[in-house]
Structure 1
Amino acid sequence: MDKNNYTYNTEKPSTVFYISSILVGLFVLWGALSPRSLSEIANEALDWMITNFGWFYMLITAFFVLFVIFLAISPYGRLRLGKPDDEPEYTWFSWIGMLFAAGIGVGFVFWGVAEPVLYYLQPPIDFTPETRESAIAGLRYGSYHWALHPWAIFSIVGLTLAYVQYRKDKPALISSAFYPVLGDKINGWAGKTIDILAVLATSTGVATTFGLSAMQITGGLSHLTDIPNNVWTQIIIIAIVTFLFMFSAAKGVNKGIKTLSNINLGVAGLFFLFVLIVGPTLFIAESFVTTLGGYISNVIPMSLTLTPFSESEWLGTNTIFFWAWHISWAPFMGLFIARISRGRTIREFMAGVLIVPSLLALIWFSTFGGTALNLEMYGPGGIAELVTGKVELALFVTLGELPLSLITSILAVILILIFFVTSADSASYVLGAMTSRGSLNPSMGVKLVWGLLIAGTASVLLVSGNGGLSALQTASIITALPFAFIMLVMVISILITFNKDYKNAQNKKHKRQLRFMKKEFKQEFYHDMKGDVYDEVKEDVYDDVKEEVYDNIKAEVKEELIEELDLNEKSNQKKKD
């Protein structure tokens, strides 16, 4: 199908919209009226979750990575996300740009400097703080948290939803992925429950990103001006961005998100090149090679390591938080990736969603984190101490030590702001689709409701955490757990679907090959038989013609003999007379 012919209908809000929006609204009301009780209960739930399910987060995330790699190299990789003749709807550049601008770009910009520096001061267990080894570990773990594992999580949901939407003509709902397991029950309360849990996880994950963006923009503005860096400034930033995203949302995916994503990718590229060129270029190059080698050789131990023989909380506040945040973010990223990935094969999808972002994560963290560590270890220093108290200032403090710091800091605020707007736009679009019966063109009213609810959720989380990260981290880890189990069933469901469709495709291919072979054999047999038949027919025709000619000649000779006899008889008669 021509990519210009793709059209999507608008559906009315479903029961999922009313139930989930009421639940999120009640949560916002609770946080607004009693932020202290919200914080206390959330912290208790967090401690229980990490203690009892920390191992589960580590194990399931490692499994997701292995699963998507298997899909990419398996025969299933040739299956297309759509009908066999569907073409990709977006160019490669726009597609990759929208992957980042959908929200994960905020994580790169926020944590690209902060993580390596924080881990330099507070490294994983078995590393000594403020040493060369802890610096290397900081870059490696920072890249590890944003490379294969998160994109494996996103790709499972995105791949599943794209396949059931465009190949099976199911609505854009998380429950649609469970049709091979649940059948028509996905249209009942079983399906609605799955969709409600997905919406709640998504709204929390997106609210976490909102909070991080607001923290970093506020930190940047306070670094450049006299604007105070506190929770109320953060809430004002959220309100302004919520107002701005309405204009982008009104334009839709093809104009609003796509245009802003292309702009953001270009700005991020220029930003990256500037730091690479004016920063410690050789140190960055060496850091990248070291980080890449360390990541490849240690990715399995890092993925399957816990601390059962110590009281260290490092994994809980770092790795497990990131895995939970990515899982809570997965319904949003998955549905959005599915929306923009129509027409691509599974193998092409995995290359774009898994390999390219992972490489970019290694490059980005090596560049920005490596620059910050170089300044901390061999330059004026002071970055690590400041970042420990105000993590959102990490990027701006680093830029302050480079040339043209004012210009680059302003550019960084603009970059984060555009990422923030596209995140809000993408989030409202996805939540609108999930609560509008899977419509890929949700109404403007539904998108605005979700934009306001997410903004409210982020605001109350920031208030309950006093403008810090703790409440944001807590919310992500708690809400991700139910969806992690949903993802496990999703893996089983999509394997059943792929296996069935692959067998059908192989059967069709076999029938086409059989028809082709019959046609070829028929043509070859025809030419071979034609010569033999020609010789046989020639002999038969020769015998028939020979007999016919013989009869004709015999008749002619007979007639001639008769005539000759008649003439002789008449001649003898005349002689007698």
Structure 2
Amino acid sequence: MEALEPQHNPVRTLRPVFAIASLIVVAFAVFVSVYPLGAGRMLMQAQDWASSNVGWYYLLAMTLYLVFVVVAALSPYGSIKLGADHDEPEFSYLSWAGMLFAAGISITLFFFCVSEPLTHFMQPPQGDPAAGEAGARQAMQLLFLHWGLHGWGVFALAAMAMAYFAYRHNLPLALRSALYPLIGNRINGPIGYTVDALGIVATVFGLGADMGFGVLHLNAGLANLFNVPHTHGVQITLIVLMMGAAVAVAVTGVEKGVRWMSNINMLLAIALVLFMLFAGPTQYLLGTLMQNAGDYLGSVVGKSFDVYAYGGKPGWMGSWTVFYWAWWIGWSPFVGLFIARISRGRTIRQFVFGVLLIPLGFTLAWLSIFGNSALDQVLHHGQTQLAQLAIDDPPTVLYALLESYPWSRAVIAVTVLVSFVFFVTSADSGAVVLSTLSSHGGAPEDDGPRWLRVFWGTVTAVVTAGLLLAGNMDALKSAVVLASLPFSAVLLLMAWGLMRSFADESHRKRALQYRASPLVGASRHHQGWRQRLGRAVNFPVRDQVYRFMDTDVKPAMEAVAEQLRGDGWEVSTRLEAGDMELSVNHGEQQDFLYRVILTGYRVPSFASHQARNSRYYRAEVHLYEGSQDYDLVDYSCEQIINDIISQYERHVQFLHLSR
């Protein structure tokens, strides 16, 4: 299909959003850099307060996000497209699944895949530490909970909201657009700009935590290979080098090379997990994978609401579950924007179940194989020092596990290499996404200005370094919990906005069943059934349709516009060759749009012997929600006027139902 491409304004910095977000983030970065010890104490006190007072809220909010997206997918709204009704997915299902799969791999999988289950084994939230097989089973349940459906549920919510309002309602691909059903045009004012700024702040700290854990992991790997010391100086040097590389990639436009390297990196990651499976106790790992999956599915509802009100260890929930929920929330604008950009044309049902299940399978398999390999060493081979190392020095425990496997030096070197590439690609993508969230204009697929990429990459590096100086892992966790708290409320509002808009979709379907006035008016030719039959097998060329639009569609739109303006309505028309549009402004309610676009198709094979051209053209009607799949060619001017009025009557009925 050929249609005229819409014109977009150039991408520019959205100054109010940038000002709010940068002021908050830069002020914090300066504070933790100048007063690291004092900042560390304040962050720990704030996290203690958050875990004691709002831990229940984080658990409830994350569960609501997941329930909302699943219910939306299973409901009749699941058939709604993230785009116009005629939009088709840009990527094949296999390509789309591959990109979702890539989104599920992060450097933090290396950091936590061994350290977390061993820590839960040694320091469980309830019960005795190191409680044999039962303790190992509980540790894997907690690991799966923290990396399971809840996290991908919040990603699905953020991505669905951005994609739905951008591609179906032609609003900016921004967080604030999801609030349009709630506050209308005020999304382009202080409220909407604050929403986008809160999303940027949460993203910076979510990325900062990811970069921080990644640096600790890489420092440990270099220490194992080359005896590089574990010091803040080395870690800050690594941050500068790797963030510098990421910013250079973001600015110079060599993303294709990095993406190619990233694809190789994913293959190396898959090879690594397969090596762990087959070089280790294969049957045990396959059995525990099945057991872990069953335990997770059987306990996910109860664990979703478990705040350990009847005797949990103090501080455990704040350090783990609350931190993870805040971290997923902080990452949701970042990952959500990426997923939204690749999902235009998919139905909500396809989208939700793809986002929830495709990355999840690999993530949980990775965690189960690595986690149970470590637990096997502790339970069945007496390597209790491995479990203690997870408590004393978490970044090193993965490498300690790998040392017990054949070809350990080569495997550790591959692990460090893969981790480095994941660090650079995540940091590069983070800088690009942050620049996009703080800019406006352009097409939805356009990135933000280059100088913004440099700015946000630099600020994220400074925040990461400051948090490491303020207290390593504890400071990273505390900052994420606090920064994500305001944005967690924004996500609830985004879900509410989607609910309101979905209700409007049902009103629109009812409106389409409204019995409009019958089409009246004489046809352009008085040939009766002969004219009707000829039209059915007519395949006009481009110039014919251009002339028809100029001689019949244009005057019909002008006549309707003139009458409506005379009745006091605000009407605008755009009467370009091949693309004509009439719109009626209805204030805070949805405007009426009637658009006719010259659209080209290949002549069908059954008619190719009759047609001299390989393509034919139609004057197709588009409404606000997309193409209506019918052609106006050979309608008279009066018939076109009546068609516009019929569609307008349906729109007025829709406004009546959704008032």
Contact persistence 2:100–2:358 (CA under 8 A): no
Code of the residue aligned with 1:354 in structure 2: it is L
Aligned to 1:432: 435
Aligned to 2:482: 478
1:5-404 paired onto structure 2 within 5 Å: 10-15=10-15, 16-92=17-93, 94-99=95-100, 101-102=102-103, 105-250=106-251, 255=256, 258-310=259-311, 312=313, 313-379=315-381, 381=383, 382-404=385-407
Partner of 2:344: helix, strand, or coil? coil
Contact persistence 2:251–2:453 (CA under 8 A): no
Contact persistence 2:126–2:312 (CA under 8 A): no
Q: Larger deviation: 304-313 or 196-205?
A: 304-313
Contact persistence 2:172–2:440 (CA under 8 A): yes
Structure 1 residue 492, shift from structure 2 partner = 0.6
Code of the residue aligned with 1:477 in structure 2: it is V
1:376-428 deviation line (CA, Å, top 9, x unaligned): 22225121111211111122111111111111111111111111111111111
> How far apart, in 2, do the equivalents of 1:296 and 1:77 lie?
23
Structure 1 residue 256, shift from structure 2 partner = 5.7
> How far apart, in 2, do the equivalents of 1:294 and 1:387 lie?
24
1:8/1:408 CA distance change after superposition, 3 Å: farther
Aligned to 2:501: 497
Structure 1 residue 247, shift from structure 2 partner = 4.0
1:231-251 deviation line (CA, Å, top 9, x unaligned): 221111111111221343246
1:255/1:436 CA distance change after superposition, 3 Å: same
1:345-380 deviation line (CA, Å, top 9, x unaligned): 211211221012222232111111011111122225
Partner of 1:344: helix, strand, or coil? coil
Aligned to 1:529: none
User: Percent identity among equivalent residues?
Assistant: 34
Query: Is there any run of 5+ residues in structure 2 with no aligned partner, and where?
Result: 520-528, 530-659
Q: Larger deviation: 70-79 or 250-259?
A: 250-259
Contact persistence 1:144–1:295 (CA under 8 A): yes
1:95/1:38 CA distance change after superposition, 3 Å: farther
Aligned to 2:470: 464
Contact persistence 1:127–1:133 (CA under 8 A): no
1:434-458 deviation line (CA, Å, top 9, x unaligned): 1012653211111111111101100
1:41/1:100 CA distance change after superposition, 3 Å: farther
Aligned to 1:451: 457
Code of the residue aligned with 1:275 in structure 2: it is M
Aligned to 1:559: none
TM-score (norm 1): 0.84
Structure 1 residue 68, shift from structure 2 partner = 1.4
> How far apart, in 1, do the equivalents of 2:211 and 2:447 lie?
23
Q: Larger deviation: 135-144 or 371-380?
A: 371-380
Partner of 1:227: helix, strand, or coil? coil
Structure 1 residue 138, shift from structure 2 partner = 1.2
Contact persistence 2:326–2:485 (CA under 8 A): yes
1:168/1:258 CA distance change after superposition, 3 Å: farther
Partner of 2:229: helix, strand, or coil? coil
RMSD: 2.6
1:263-322 deviation line (CA, Å, top 9, x unaligned): 332222111111111111111111111101111111111111112233612212111110
Partner of 1:172: helix, strand, or coil? coil
Partner of 2:54: helix, strand, or coil? helix
1:206-252 deviation line (CA, Å, top 9, x unaligned): 11111011111111111122101222211111111112213432465
In terms of fraction of residues, the more helix-rich structure is 1
Contact persistence 1:383–1:397 (CA under 8 A): yes
Code of the residue aligned with 1:62 in structure 2: it is T
Higher RCO by CA contacts (8 Å cutoff, separation 6 or greater) = 1
> How far apart, in 1, do the equivalents of 2:2 and 2:421 lie?
31
Contact persistence 2:47–2:478 (CA under 8 A): yes
> How far apart, in 2, do the equivalents of 1:306 and 1:26 lie?
33
Structure 1 residue 472, shift from structure 2 partner = 0.4
Structure 1 residue 186, shift from structure 2 partner = 0.7
Query: Is there any run of 5+ residues in structure 1 with no aligned partner, and where?
Result: 516-522, 524-577
Code of the residue aligned with 2:480 in structure 1: it is S
Contact persistence 1:2–1:86 (CA under 8 A): no
Aligned to 2:423: 420
> How far apart, in 2, do the equivalents of 1:303 and 1:353 lie?
20
1:156/1:460 CA distance change after superposition, 3 Å: same
Contact persistence 1:328–1:479 (CA under 8 A): yes
1:294/1:268 CA distance change after superposition, 3 Å: same
Contact persistence 2:155–2:332 (CA under 8 A): yes
The number of equivalent residue pairs is 513
